[in-house]
Structure 1
Amino acid sequence: MTVLTLVLMGGNNFFYDAFGESLESGLVHEILGMILFVLWVVHLVLNRAWIKGLLKGKYNALRIVRTVINCGVILCVLLLIVSGIILSNHLFAWLEIESGASFARAAHMLASHWYLIFISLHIGLHLSMFIRGKVAMGVVSALGVYGVYTFIERGLWKYMTLQQPFFSVDLEHGYLLFTLDYIAIMALFAVVMQLVMQALNRYFYIKNA
């Protein structure tokens, strides 16, 4: 799912060399988007106990943070699939949706970039499960530091606030650097989230000691 996210963040640009501006480049993007949506549906079904428990029990700071992040991911996924269907020129063209394209483009761009941040924070909630050892964590942290630079350089904050009306991907230095930049951005927010969770866990441990 993370790999699909990174590929889809490049729009149709990852498929440009193979298909040019032909019909297939947009079709591949739509197919991968649908695959990612299906995977999220499966993920939610497998974790349906969390959904059922949303209105049960008490909420402390830790649970609030987790809930906000998870709901943020779900909201972005829903906005992406709805706007994607409206903009579809292939998989859902048979619906013949003729209105709302302008809104859908803005919503798709906004949701895709917020989705990247929320999914990174979501990974950060469980980062210690995937990254073990000081060396591995040091590498991820170093990527996160670089992520500060590339977050600003790539102008993601402009997309997240709709200050940039059109999506533009700078592939001047190739696909590899583009992917590395976005991995660094994900590492940045994942590490920040882990530090926040560690601080909260330490606070509640001391408080309840």
Structure 2
Amino acid sequence: MAALTLVLMGGCNFFYEAFDESFDSDLVHEILGVILFVLWVTHLVVNRAWIKGLLNGKYNALRIVRTVINGGVVLCVLFLMISGVILSNHVFAWIGIESCTSFARTSHLLASHWYLIFVSLHIGLHLSLFVRGKVAMGVVSALGVYGIYAFIERGLWKYMTLQQPFYALDLEHGYLLFTLDYIAIMALFAVSMQLVMQALNRYFYIRNA
């Protein structure tokens, strides 16, 4: 799903510019968006125990952080799907929604960038499952440090605060660098989240010892 997210952030436009104008990037974007939504629904069904347990038990800082991050992902996915349906020119064009397109476009832009951050934080909650060994973690951490520069240079904070009203895909230096920058941004927030969780775990361990 993380790889599909990167493709949706710019890959479709890359293929449009690199190959042929007959390549319908909007259609591919819509199809991949639907696939991503189905994957998230499947993910939630598989992990439905988390949803059932939301109202059970006590909430400490660790559980609050996990709930906010997971809730943020779900909320962004819903906004992306709803706004995507409204903006659809292919897959859902038969619905015929012609109003609220301006709001939907703004919502899609805002939700997509917050989604990237929340997904990265979500990965950070389980980073030790994906990255094993000190060398691998060192590489991911170094990538995360570069992610600070990429986050600022790519102007993600502008999209997240609606200071950038439209999506400007910058492929001036090639799609490979674009992908590397976004992977680094994801690594930045994933590693940061892991450090936060380690600090909280250590705090509660010492507190309860």
User: How would you bin the TM-score normalised by the shorter chain?
Assistant: over 0.9
Structure 1 residue runs of 4 or more that deviate by more than 6 Å after TM superposition: none
2:91 alignment counterpart: 91
2:160 alignment counterpart: 160
1:185 alignment counterpart: 185
1:110 alignment counterpart: 110
Q: Deviations over 1:151-184 (max 9, x none)?
A: 0000000000000001001101111000000000
Q: Number of residue pairs matched?
A: 208
Q: Deviations over 1:129-172 (max 9, x none)?
A: 11111100000000000000010000000000000001001101
Structure 1 counterpart of 2:139, which letter?
V
- What is the alpha-carbon distance in structure 2 between the residues aligned to residue 183 and residue 40 of structure 1? 20
Q: Does 1:200 align with 2:200?
A: yes
Gaps of 5+ in 1: none
Structure 2 counterpart of 1:18, which letter?
F
2:56 alignment counterpart: 56
- What is the alpha-carbon distance in structure 2 between the residues aligned to residue 11 and residue 128 of structure 1? 28
Q: Does the CA-based 8 Å contact 1:7-1:14 persist in structure 2?
A: no
Gaps of 5+ in 2: none
- What is the alpha-carbon distance in structure 1 between the residues aligned to residue 48 and residue 20 of structure 2? 39
Shift of 1:12: 3.7
Structure 2 counterpart of 1:48, which letter?
R
Q: Deviations over 1:2-53 (max 9, x none)?
A: 1100000116413312342x47211000000000000000000000000000
2:36 alignment counterpart: 36
Q: Does the CA-based 8 Å contact 2:144-2:191 persist in structure 1?
A: yes
- What is the alpha-carbon distance in structure 1 between the residues aligned to residue 84 and residue 33 of structure 2? 8
- What is the alpha-carbon distance in structure 1 between the residues aligned to residue 92 and residue 19 of structure 2? 23
Determine helix, strand or coil for the equivalent of 1:10: helix
- What is the alpha-carbon distance in structure 2 between the residues aligned to residue 18 and residue 72 of structure 1? 36
Q: Does 1:148 align with 2:142?
A: no
- What is the alpha-carbon distance in structure 2 between the residues aligned to residue 198 and residue 115 of structure 1? 23
- What is the alpha-carbon distance in structure 1 between the residues aligned to residue 23 and residue 132 of structure 2? 43
Structure 1 counterpart of 2:19, which letter?
A
**What is the TM-score of this pair, normalised by structure 1?**
0.97
Q: Does the CA-based 8 Å contact 1:6-1:182 persist in structure 2?
A: yes
Structure 2 counterpart of 1:112, which letter?
S
2:19 alignment counterpart: 18
